[in-house]
Structure 1
Amino acid sequence: MEEIRRVAAAYYEHLPAKDKKSLRGTFKAMDKNRDGKISLLEYLDYFKKKNGTDFTHQSICRALDMNVNGSLDFEEAIVLFYIMESGRTIICMSCKTFMAGVYFSCSQCFFNVASRRSFDICCDCYGGKKFTHHSDAIFCDNFSLLSQSRSLALEASAEKRSRVVEGCNWMLGVANLAVSAGCIIM
């Protein structure tokens, strides 16, 4: 989790002032009793109202609570905002806990364009064989999948790579507009 905290802090430092102000506004909206902290109840209420079901796992809030005081201060919430923006909300399909670090994905599910989600599991569940999935599944860690994805993209024709890059740039543009407008993407 410490690596994600460092990435989130660096990400926040490079945000324009208007985006930082927007995140402060989102923090205040979550902090219903205005005590400068987001309790677990405030956290869950906020995401239930926003239909942010990916964020209603209590393990996410607990993982974010660095000082283990049962609530999130703004610095801890910066990590939450980064996770929301980056799409880094990954829950183990077996034990249902938030995965902050390295995890394993079924490569067939990951690269299957017809599949809506990949099958992701934490290192403990993978190493301990505490999961059930199709019998011919080939699992790779998230770094390996990223490397494989890049290799596949580089092998594609220039036209196909260009379309993928355009699509990625469009998605990043939408995410930046949402942040600028004070919205948080879920």
Structure 2
Amino acid sequence: MEDLRQTAMAYHIAATDEIRQFIQVFYNEMDPKDNRQVEFKEFSKYMETIGCQHMASDEFFNELKQPGNEVLYYDDIITLFYIIHSGRPFCGGRCKKFVKGMYFTCVKCFSDHNIDSAFSVCSQCFGAEAYQHFHDDFLDPIVLLRYKRIEALKSNRKERSPSSVTTVLMDPSPSLPASSSSSSSHQSHKMAKTNSPIISTAFVPAMSYQQSKQAKMQTAIQFGQMLAAIGSAAIAASASSSASCTIL
């Protein structure tokens, strides 16, 4: 959480007066007693009011407040403001916890403008395959940003010279086979895939299922910077990260 605090403070220092005033209003609304501190009951009630029910728990409150304190102060609210507006996720996997470190996001959900919040899962649940989702391509934020940049550069090259574009990322990579617990329709869909542009774009070599599973277990937790794609059993019954906050 300390890294997030420092990041939030850096943004606050660079923010305009208008944004700082908005954060002050956000803080004041959460502190109806006007005693310059926010107790858990005040915090929880306000989070539910603005549509952030998934943040209204005492567990997240304890994560947010600084060690030794029993209440939230203005610096903590700056961190909270950053967490909400940066879209920092709660794990959609088994643990359902707030993700302070690296995580993996569904690329298809991320690119779907009809979805308010992309499905994300922490590195631990991702490495243990302790989640369910109906898409297969996942990237951590660092690789996702790189992938989107590569897509934009390729598109720009095509627009400038359609007949002479040199593509170095077109080598098809076979998709990973569905897990043994996948439904027949999902398995048929995966077998029908002839290549994975996500994998080839991120320069991840083709691997067998066993090799890919071992690689995911090793790299997802240790580095969190490797692209991977895995199968899931069924559509997720619930995903805490899908809740949307409305403080703007």
- After TM superposition, the score normalised by the length of structure 2 is 0.56
Partner of 1:73: 73
Partner of 2:83: 83
Q: Secondary structure at the match of 2:121?
A: strand
| Change in CA separation of 1:20 and 1:115 when aligned onto 2, cut-off 3 Å | closer
Q: Secondary structure at the match of 1:156?
A: helix
Partner of 2:105: 105
> Any stretches of 5+ residues in structure 2 without a counterpart?
160-245
- The separation in 1 between residues aligned to 2:106 and 2:16, in whole angstroms, is 37
Partner of 1:25: 25
Partner of 1:184: 247
Percent identity among equivalent residues? 28
Please show how residues 28-177 of structure 1 align to structure 2 within 5 Å.
28-53=28-53, 55-88=55-88, 90-94=89-93, 95-112=95-112, 115-134=115-134, 137-157=136-156
Write the letter of the residue equivalent to 1:55.
M
| Change in CA separation of 1:103 and 1:57 when aligned onto 2, cut-off 3 Å | farther
Q: Hey, which of these two has a bigger chunk of helix by percent?
A: 1
**Partner deviation per Cα, 1:98-142 (whole Å, 9 max, x = no partner):** 1122101233433455555422111111122222234x7233222
> Any stretches of 5+ residues in structure 1 without a counterpart?
161-182
- The separation in 1 between residues aligned to 2:117 and 2:2, in whole angstroms, is 26
| Change in CA separation of 1:24 and 1:118 when aligned onto 2, cut-off 3 Å | closer
Maintained 8 Å contact 2:50/2:247: no
Q: Secondary structure at the match of 2:144?
A: helix
Q: Secondary structure at the match of 2:8?
A: helix
- The separation in 2 between residues aligned to 1:73 and 1:142, in whole angstroms, is 29
